Amino acid sequence: MPRTDELTQARRGGNDEFYTQLADIEREVVHYRDHFRGKTVLCNCDDPRVSNFFHYFAYQFEALGLKRLITTCYKNQTPNLFSQHDCERAISLVYDGDKNGNRVPDPEEIGIHELQGDGDFRSAECIELLMQADIVVTNPPFSLFREYVKQLVDFNKKFLILGNVNALTTRDIFPLVMDNRIWLGASIHSGDRKFWVPDHYPLNASGCGIDEDGRRFIRVKGVRWYTNMDYRLRHDEIILFKHYTPDVYPTYDNFDAIEVSTVADIPCDYDGMMGVPITFLDKYNPDQFEIVGDDVSLGATKGRFYVNGRRLYSRLVIRRRKTA
Ligand SMILES: C[S@@+](CC[C@H](N)C(=O)[O-])C[C@H]1O[C@@H](n2cnc3c(N)ncnc32)[C@H](O)[C@@H]1O
């Protein structure tokens, strides 16, 4: 399993080299096809020669009806599979679609531009590219995730990006979740995901392995897509069948809401405030519920709710929306 320990190590050590599989991109983007028509897509943490994000959007350019695909890489200009950050300058690629009718992105159809700097998404020239984009799609560096999201929000961009579920309750991301300005994507709600890692990645790290093609991978838990583009499944109601009784659903010692320890147990007939696990966000339908806050933002003692003196895991507080 990996897991959080690898992610923690990645964050601390600045090791951000985890590479997304094509299948994970395909499974998610399919839910947003209408959003992409006529749009410029930017993948700004992606070495275009090896990124599956570039590969996917270049090959799906016509099917999605894209206007333009822009990709930038960080530091590396060498065509190795994995970024070694051995060059301070970077490149950007621009693809405006198939010109010769073979429906394949040929090298002569792709414009290559040397960047002045290292391709940092925060640099002025990368922000210039961000401003040209309608939708940003990538797996950004784990260690800079919150800063990355803030930039997308500040520039009012649509996005579809991979991150860890733990980011949901951070002080930068949670207010956006509460305001329905960011939510979880459609295709990943549990389990782990396989990412390619560089050859120097320690094989004895938990979850690390080598596939039949000799490529090193790691399985990462807690991965989620984060987006601000709507999709149909997000409006499916959570089917509820339990009924409220005060003995089954105790009220917190330190907040006026009832404890609901799993999403499936949310009572169908309770209109007050309810505390639910963070995993609620994997099923959250904003037409059915509103998010009132979480234990921290609602000022719970020591940041957690208690039931009969027992400290609980992190909780969101939700309330049913009134139906017309
Ligand atoms: C988790 S990896 C994902 C790579 C690629 N997007 C993918 O999904 O296959 C994050 C990438 O961000 C790059 N990166 C790190 N810091 C960056 C920065 N400040 N600006 C842009 N890219 C950065 C890393 O080199 C790394 O390749």
**CA nearest 218: which of 188, 191, 194, 200?**
194
Q: What pLDDT does residue 85 have?
A: 56
Q: What pLDDT does residue 76 have?
A: 64
In terms of C-beta density within 10 A (0-12 exposed, 13-18 middle, 19 or more buried), how is residue 278 classed? middle
Contacts of 161 (CB under 8 A, 6+ apart): 136, 137, 138, 139, 140, 148, 149, 152, 225, 226, 227
Rounded Cα distance, 169 and 204, in Å: 31
Closest atom of ligand 1 to 50 CA is 9
pLDDT tens for the chain, 324 residues long, are 344 554 455 444 446 788 999 999 999 999 999 999 999 999 999 987 779 999 999 999 999 999 999 999 987 655 444 455 555 578 899 999 999 999 889 989 999 999 999 999 999 999 999 999 999 999 999 999 999 999 999 999 999 999 999 999 999 999 999 999 999 999 999 999 999 998 888 888 788 999 998 999 999 999 999 999 999 999 999 999 999 999 999 999 999 999 999 999 999 999 999 999 999 999 999 999 999 999 999 999 989 999 999 999 999 999 999 874
Distance (angstroms) between ligand 1 centre and the Cα of 74 equals 7
Cβ pair 29, 137 in contact under 8 A: yes
**CA nearest 215: which of 198, 240, 202?**
198
**Would you say the CB of residue 72 lies under 6 angstroms from ligand 1?**
no
**Would you say the CB of residue 17 lies under 6 angstroms from ligand 1?**
yes
Q: What is this structure's pTM?
A: 0.92
CB atoms within 10 A of CB 199: 12
Q: What pLDDT does residue 87 have?
A: 57
**Probe target for ligand 1 pocket from 6, 7, 16, with the most ligand atoms within 8 Å of CB:** 16
Q: Whose CA is nearest to atom 18 of ligand 1?
A: 120
Q: What pLDDT does residue 321 have?
A: 96
| HEC string for the chain | CCCHHHHHHHHHHCCCCCECCHHHHHHHHHHHHHHHCCCEEEECCCCCCCCHHHHHHHHCHHHHCCCEEEEECCCCCCCCCCCCCCCCCCEEEEECCCCCCCCCCCHHHEEEEECCCCCCCCCHHHHHHHHHCCEEEECCCHHHHHHHHHHHHHCCCEEEEEEEHHHHHCCCCHHHHHCCCCEECCCCCCCEEEEECCCCCCCCCCCEEECCCCCEEEEEECEEEEECCCCHHHHCCCCCCECCCCCCCCECCCCCCEECCCHHHCECCCCCCEEEEHHHHHCCCCCCEEEEEECCCCCCHHHCCEECCEECCCEEEEEECCCC
Q: What pLDDT does residue 2 have?
A: 45
94-109 confidence digits (pLDDT tens)? 999 999 999 889 989 9
Distance (angstroms) between ligand 1 centre and the Cα of 184 equals 20
Mean pLDDT of the chain: 91
Q: What pLDDT does residue 63 have?
A: 96
Q: How far is CA 222 from CA 6, 170, 182, 184, 269, in A?
A: 12, 15, 17, 12, 31
**Would you say the CB of residue 139 lies under 6 angstroms from ligand 1?**
yes
Q: What pLDDT does residue 6 have?
A: 47
**Would you say the CB of residue 136 lies under 6 angstroms from ligand 1?**
no
Distance (angstroms) between ligand 1 centre and the Cα of 31 equals 24
**Would you say the CB of residue 46 lies under 6 angstroms from ligand 1?**
yes
Rounded Cα distance, 174 and 315, in Å: 12
Nearest 5°: phi and psi at 62? -70, -40
Q: What pLDDT does residue 103 have?
A: 84
Closest atom of ligand 1 to 195 CA is 9
